[in-house]
Amino acid sequence: MGQRNSFTRDVLLLVASVVASQAHAQQAQQPGGNTIYIETKVTPIASGKWTGARLRDGQPDVQGFWSNTIANHSNWTDPQGGVPGDPNPRARAKGPREERAPSRVSDPPDGEVPFQPWARAKQQEFLANFHNPTRPEYVEPLARCAPAGVPKTFTWHGFEIRQYPQYALLMFDSGWRIIHLDGKPHLPDSIKLWNADSRGHWEGNTLVVDVTNNNAKARLGRTGEFFSDNVHIEERYVFDNNGQRFNYVATITDPTVFTRPWTATIPVRRYTEKDTPDGWHYEVTAANTTNGALLHEKYERICIENNGPFGQVAVTPTRK
Amino acid sequence: MRTMSARWATLLVLLLPLAHAMAKDRIPRLPSGKPDFSGIWQTTSAADFDLEPHSARKDAPPGPGIVAGNVIPYLPAALEQKQRNFEHGDVEDPRLKCWTLGTPRGIYYPEPFQVFQRDRDVTLVFQFGQSVRTIHTNGTLHPQATDNEFYLGDSRGHWEGDTLVVDVTDFNEETWLDRAGNFHSPQLHVVERWSLLDPDTLQYRATLEDPNVFSRPWDIEVILNRHREPNFQLIENYCFTLDFDQYYPVPKQ
């Protein structure tokens, strides 16, 4: 089964989320409600001490299922605005910008990626060709089941965090990341990876991860933002002591492409047994327990047939 | 001298079981007392080339095979299918598409995989492909749904002493068992037995049954070695992306 139907779900969710963002833009998330569906605000979380549960090796225990609360990767800087130029009228953003979630660019304050002029032109070229890709490079790699990469992967489907002595394991819908917490050196610079190479450590409630060896092929969203394989990303996963949320805050430095370092912020909320699995944020299934307890688990994550309209114009030769 | 040698030999014979027991005692354990399989593992066997004993071929180094009794007990029609697979393995092996290798093939494929272990589950991250397999050890059963078809199957494990016994069902038919075209149907049922022979050696045994393909259950056994190179780590190998890699050069000025 894998994700054969995930494309359909994504389209439905995209359409539904844009519609919802119009209908409910002013409506605050109900506390204690059983869906995260869509939020228009980023809940601030301060860096500081961790007062919650810990694992036996001392790490804050942040294991579980998580999802971003804003939107998918259709639009990096106007996350609930749909992909500009979408021929489907229902997928177009309506209403004033301020009723939608803020840009994922939290610094600079204008919410724009500080591209150098040539790089802005490359981003615009990708976006201009996204809805009718006439060349293979205009098909977003994620549509071909390539890993979403760092940091886009946090805007794709929900994901799971598992922790072990010296490791945090991130399991995404399109691939995995092993965060090494044991201080070993990064891979040699000549190795470039979709999900990059991660070295982390804990500072109080914050998991700090140094990310290098990025192959930079993934694009940040359907809007075409990108960096080069010179990019250096410092991630800060700032966890709320109530265990229910974290903010993913990434400082992205790449003098090849940008005029200055910039910061991305993606709000994330934990799945709890009170939530209703929706096949996107929380692709979990009730486990077959013998004592009647409700316990959710995730089936295998394998994406080989996610070639929907965003990618079906360029099916790879080995895929029939 | 002869007497001395005999004495030493006798001593050795007496000590061997003790040494064996000590190796068992030195295996890593979780605080729960269960054996800790955490680490990066890989076989040195030629199993992935052909599970059955085989001489050197253009496409495979020789190997003694890992099948008990040497021969996989195919049903007649399935044996014909296996022969067709063998003849066309250079194009039809799912490995060439870099699709998830499945269970048990991922275990003896010649690339490393990493085991992460908690009391509630054992997680296998394979370098090849993008697959992560979870063996649930929390007392849960196979899903009640009967139409699940997974590449890796659905894995539920329990401990019998220091051996992890895993029942694996709910397969699809997209995977092969090796490069020689050995295969299975969605009716495949695998029972695995994992145990540490010493801190750095995992013994992997499995019984495979599939009423559509095999005339009786059959067994395999392979040894997995711990990677002990300094700073060794998995390096992601999403090799299915190589088919389209050429289209995604990093944009340049």
Q: Show me where the domains of chain B are located.
A: 36-229
Contact yes or no for B39/B115 (Cβ under 8 A): yes
Q: What is the mean pLDDT of residues B198-226?
A: 98
Query: A286 in helix, strand or coil?
Result: strand
User: How far apart (Å, rounded) are the C-alpha atoms in residues A174 and A73?
Assistant: 14
**Per residue in B194-207, pLDDT tens?**
999 999 999 999 99
From A116, A169, A288, residue closest to B142, measured CB to CB: A288
pLDDT at A138: 93
pLDDT at A21: 35
Whether the per-residue pLDDT at A1 is higher than 90: the answer is no
Which residue, A199, A187, A297, is CA-closest to B135? A297
Q: What is the mean pLDDT of residues A28-36?
A: 44
Residues of B in contact with A122 (CB under 8 A): 251
CB contact under 8 A, A147 and B233: no
CA of A255 vs chain B CAs: smallest distance (Å): 12
CB contact under 8 A, B241 and A194: yes
CA of B229 vs chain A CAs: smallest distance (Å): 12
pLDDT at B107: 98
Query: B7 in helix, strand or coil?
Result: helix
pLDDT at B42: 98
pLDDT at B53: 98
pLDDT at A302: 72
Confidence of residue B24 (pLDDT cuts 50, 70, 90): low
Within a domain: residue A55? Answer: yes
Contact yes or no for A262/A114 (Cβ under 8 A): yes
CA-angle at A110, arms to A25 and A228, nearest 5°: 105
Query: B149 in helix, strand or coil?
Result: coil
pLDDT at B129: 82
Whether the per-residue pLDDT at B249 is higher than 50: the answer is yes
Q: Find the closest chain B residue to A292 by CA distance.
A: B140
pLDDT at B21: 60
Residues of A in contact with B244 (CB under 8 A): 136, 141, 144, 146, 314, 316
For B59-73, letters b (16+ CB in 10 Å) and e give: ebeebebbbeeeebe
Range of the domain at A187: 6-314
Residue matched to tokens 């009786």: B216
Whether the per-residue pLDDT at A15 is higher than 50: the answer is no
Dihedral sign from CA coordinates of B103, B107, B110, B111: positive
pLDDT at A292: 83
Residues of B in contact with A319 (CB under 8 A): 97, 243
**Per residue in A158-209, pLDDT tens?**
999 999 999 999 999 878 999 999 999 999 999 999 999 999 999 999 999 9
Within a domain: residue A101? Answer: yes
Within a domain: residue A1? Answer: no
CB contact under 8 A, A174 and B130: yes
**Per residue in A120-142, pLDDT tens?**
999 999 999 999 999 999 999 98
CB contact under 8 A, A304 and B231: no
Confidence of residue B25 (pLDDT cuts 50, 70, 90): confident
How would you write A67-127 as a 3-class SS string? EECCCCCCCCCCCCCCCCCCCCHHHCCCCCHHHCCCCCEEECCCCCCCECHHHHHHHHHHH
Q: What is the mean pLDDT of residues B23-43?
A: 93
Residues of B in contact with A175 (CB under 8 A): 130, 236, 238
Contact yes or no for B24/B33 (Cβ under 8 A): no
Within a domain: residue A258? Answer: yes
pLDDT at B4: 54
Q: What is the mean pLDDT of residues A81-95?
A: 87
From B114, B140, B250, residue closest to A288, measured CB to CB: B140
Contact yes or no for A248/A154 (Cβ under 8 A): yes
Q: Find the closest chain A residue to B123 by CA distance.
A: A162
The first and second tokens of residue B48, run together, are 């992935």
Q: Report the domain count for chain A.
A: 1
Q: What is the mean pLDDT of residues A240-247?
A: 96
CA of B57 vs chain A CAs: smallest distance (Å): 26
pLDDT at A38: 82
C-alpha pair distances (Å), A97 with each of A21, A22, A82, A100: 11, 10, 12, 6
Give percent above pLDDT 70 in chain B.
91
Which residue, B142, B138, B143, is CA-closest to B167? B142
Dihedral sign from CA coordinates of A149, A151, A154, A156: negative
Whether the per-residue pLDDT at A8 is higher than 50: the answer is no
Within a domain: residue A88? Answer: yes
From A118, A135, A136, residue closest to B244, measured CB to CB: A136
Confidence of residue B22 (pLDDT cuts 50, 70, 90): low
Q: Where are the alpha helices (DSSP H) in B64-181?
A: 76-87, 89-92, 105-108
